[in-house]
A and B are shown apart, each in its own frame.
Chain A
């Protein structure tokens, strides 16, 4: 047992559901107790999706516990098959089904005998993998299943597209700034004269999978999801892939150079150096920004970076190499990415941290007292507590990190966004210190002194007043005092407060 208050990566089934609900016409059925369909809330709330989340539960209750799921799972599968007419149903195990050890594979094969949809059992174990690993596996599993299926039916299209094209593998629901990154990637690829063959799984249908081999190469923008699929496709069809996240000016250039190399190997004579130069110097503002006087002020400032492997590594390199900021610690909760992560950041930070325990991260930040933190929502709260500014750079995040406006992290526009994020974090921190040094502009006390002080509050009433949330406390206080004055009451007790409330004066 582990005493845990918070976790960075979610349970395995969340990863499977993220993949399933990203495809079009794929339905996931969770083998889970009542209340475990919380994923639907997250997708509907955080991503503000307009469609119903294609996830239902085959509810595990007392009866199932006593007698086994028996026909229930199969009934639920065939019911969804008729209601929604999906192309694929993914039966999703949860922690509960992991320990029930029912033969779900058997249910799948029995159900698929009389459904129009294909049925798959997600091959993930709750106790062995986390959300991100599960998503990576499920995507590979779906792709592999359909490649083999189309191979058998000879529907697979293996002929390459006439002009160079790519598959983008990995973007899915609830990806941190995912929609914006896809748009930015598409723009970048168009600039390079590349067509996007497929984006998987976001908005793809399983029917599209037969066209996968048509792409000249694959791009895996995020280290966490898509690598297994890209590796499989490389083995199977000899499709090369680029797995450098194009985040930051330098890494975007490296990303483009990798693409150039692949194209050159395929016999296409392309030279993108001029493009990189023009974009870096004139289109993107962040290269100029790092030379500007503002950025000089940042030189030698310290930072701690923590997040998923992709974003934490990218931000560490941007801070250290592009802005001259000293990264005290670069860390990630993606422990399975350790080797890659270390090799990426070892040279540009003082210390590498691999942990999924947020208290360790908090202790480390408290000890080092960096000028700014770049991390997840958890680090933002740690920063709040310690009065250190924090820029949010990685999942897990709250709803405010699913912005409506265009906020990519990738490509040249992405580097502008990141430069703003970094700069704003540090300036705000500076402002804080200046205020402290010069005594600040304290506004406390102004609000409460706006009204007369001749009214007396007894202890009980004062205690009650303190329980009222700060942002309305002043208003409540004023209203109660007004009420008391109107009724010629000089001492405010709890009863006066309630009488005021009852008369609708809150």
Chain B
């Protein structure tokens, strides 16, 4: 059967799991955006030259701007336990304290610290007491996680411990607050907060905030809601360890997602959402220049950053056809509301449900891409140029991680990225040959 036809015949979600042989960034890359987000932090990645080489090449010019992150590069003597981990870390963190004086030091555990079983969680409290700086340990390693999940491990560690020791809870004030979690640029924080405020929902804080010293205090029965699809461990920690109520909503990516996200939160706080539908429509109206171009075009997500479900849902709403959603890891509970919205969107658009491939196999995917001939492949940089050379349009998936994509006004940014390769193809003035 023709593979396109085969896809059209499916009408319920098909989840598949392949070999996990796919290209993605190492989760330690989260230091790149987290150190910028948390202005008084320092990130120490405890790993090898391999980790350092990745960071230095992947983050390019950021390296030269006196970053607030560094490698604690493990040498042979560390691996063979000839050196004492505690003493070594103490030495390095003392230097960091002296040179940078951060409010918090994050230790990012890597594959190597896992394998040699370095007891970072055990050493941290002792050093914390000695140096007088909070030390947060996150195991963002490639043995367990992919790319954006790095942020999840960091936020989960924060959610677990933040404010437990230092801040005494005030029993008089036991009204439940809403705390949003997920690291987004400050402009997005402002926009989403205003959005909720305008419907009478007060935002009690963001995890993480601009500064470590401004993080919100978490109380039992507080409401929490995620803004990124890759924060399932953080969500779990907030529910289990801090006894918060999780609001399961689609993610505020695209005007449809943003509206659904606001609606869900407002419904929890019994606030009416009058005028919201009109706001969404207004945004769609402005996006028409893009949606006219995108209508009927097909997309294939190779999968590497866990934004794939939300992006696919938004693009289907824009009139595109999605053949395959590759995704490193699929938490059906945390992303439940998002999956439902995807299903609803497909039904409303009269379009087949895309197949969702967890832990994809890039080699097999390239085969499927050759068969399906999608108009656009969203992929990592390892495959982009080779696919372009074979006449297949690509978009680097990493750009979605580093762009502002949340909320009503940033929907335009997503479509800017999506339409660029398609515009290039229809631009007749430029001559392309392979």
The answer to whether A and B assemble together is yes
A interface residues (Cβ-Cβ under 8 A, vs B): 1-7, 10-11, 13-14, 32-38, 40-42, 44-45, 48-53, 56-57, 59-62, 65, 76, 83, 94-96, 98-100, 126-128, 130, 378, 381, 384, 398, 464, 467, 494-495, 498, 501-504
Cβ contact within 8 Å between B79 and A99:
yes
Given known A-B contacts A2-B72, A50-B385, A96 and B54 have beta carbons under 8 A apart: no
B402 at interface by CB-CB < 8 Å? no
Cβ contact within 8 Å between A36 and B70:
no
Cα A40 to Cα B385 with chains together (Å): 11
B381 at interface by CB-CB < 8 Å? yes
Most A CB within 10 A of own CB, among B21, B74, B194: B21
Q: Which of A11, A49, A503 contacts B386 (CB 8 A)?
A: A49
B95 at interface by CB-CB < 8 Å? yes
Cβ contact within 8 Å between B48 and A36:
no
Which of chain A's residues have a CB closer than 8 A to the CB of B111?
33, 60, 95-96
B residues 29-45 in Cβ contact with A at 8 Å: none
B94 to nearest A CB, angstroms?
Answer: 10
B interface residues (Cβ-Cβ under 8 A, vs A): 20-21, 23-27, 46, 48-50, 52-54, 56-58, 60-61, 63-64, 67, 70-76, 78-79, 83, 88-89, 91-92, 95-96, 111-112, 114-116, 141-147, 186-187, 190-191, 194, 283, 286, 363, 366, 380-386, 389, 408-409, 412
Cα A48 to Cα B385 with chains together (Å): 7
Cβ contact within 8 Å between A44 and B54:
no
Cβ contact within 8 Å between A1 and B72:
yes
Which of chain A's residues have a CB closer than 8 A to the CB of B114?
65
Cα A95 to Cα B389 with chains together (Å): 33
Nearest-neighbor residue (CB-CB) of A43 within chain B: B382
Q: Which of A3, A44, A76, A128 contacts B381 (CB 8 A)?
A: A44
B132 to nearest A CB, angstroms?
Answer: 20
Nearest-neighbor residue (CB-CB) of B48 within chain A: A95
Nearest-neighbor residue (CB-CB) of B363 within chain A: A83
Cβ contact within 8 Å between A38 and B26:
yes
Cβ contact within 8 Å between A100 and B386:
no
Cβ contact within 8 Å between B76 and A11:
no
Cβ contact within 8 Å between B142 and A36:
yes
For chain B, what secondary structure do more than half of its interface residues adopt (helix, strand, loop), or is it mixed? helix
Cβ contact within 8 Å between B386 and A34:
no
For chain A, what secondary structure do more than half of its interface residues adopt (helix, strand, loop), or is it mixed? mixed
Cβ contact within 8 Å between A35 and B25:
yes
Q: What would 5 more interface pairs be, CB under 8 Å, given A1-B75, A502-B408? A: A3-B96, A10-B53, A51-B389, A495-B194, A503-B286
Cα A464 to Cα B88 with chains together (Å): 41
Which of chain B's residues have a CB closer than 8 A to the CB of A45?
381, 385
A364 to nearest B CB, angstroms?
Answer: 17
Cα A4 to Cα B73 with chains together (Å): 7
A–B Cβ pairs within 8 angstroms, 21 of them: A1-B72, A1-B91, A2-B75, A7-B52, A10-B53, A33-B141, A35-B26, A35-B54, A35-B146, A35-B147, A44-B381, A59-B20, A65-B114, A95-B50, A95-B111, A96-B115, A99-B112, A128-B76, A378-B64, A495-B194, A502-B409
Q: Which of A11, A57, A127, A498 contacts B79 (CB 8 A)?
A: A127
Given known A-B contacts A49-B385, A494-B190, A504-B412, A94 and B50 have beta carbons under 8 A apart: yes
Cα A378 to Cα B63 with chains together (Å): 9
A103 to nearest B CB, angstroms?
Answer: 16
Given known A-B contacts A3-B95, A52-B383, A467 and B187 have beta carbons under 8 A apart: yes
Cβ contact within 8 Å between A35 and B88:
no
Q: Which of B60, B76, B83, B383 contacts A44 (CB 8 A)?
A: B383
Cβ contact within 8 Å between B386 and A44:
yes
B196 to nearest A CB, angstroms?
Answer: 14
Cα A91 to Cα B368 with chains together (Å): 27
Nearest-neighbor residue (CB-CB) of A50 within chain B: B389
Cβ contact within 8 Å between B67 and A5:
yes
Closest CB pairs A-B (n = 3): A35-B26, A33-B142, A50-B389
Which of chain B's residues have a CB closer than 8 A to the CB of A5?
63, 67, 70-71
Nearest-neighbor residue (CB-CB) of A72 within chain B: B19
Cβ contact within 8 Å between A6 and B56:
yes
Given known A-B contacts A4-B71, A6-B56, A501 and B63 have beta carbons under 8 A apart: no
Cβ contact within 8 Å between B53 and A57:
no
Nearest-neighbor residue (CB-CB) of B72 within chain A: A1
B398 to nearest A CB, angstroms?
Answer: 9
Cα A127 to Cα B20 with chains together (Å): 28
Q: Which of B70, B186, B283, B363 contacts A4 (CB 8 A)?
A: B70
Which of chain A's residues have a CB closer than 8 A to the CB of B74?
1
A376 to nearest B CB, angstroms?
Answer: 12
Cβ contact within 8 Å between A100 and B115:
yes
Cα A341 to Cα B2 with chains together (Å): 63
Which of chain A's residues have a CB closer than 8 A to the CB of B412?
504
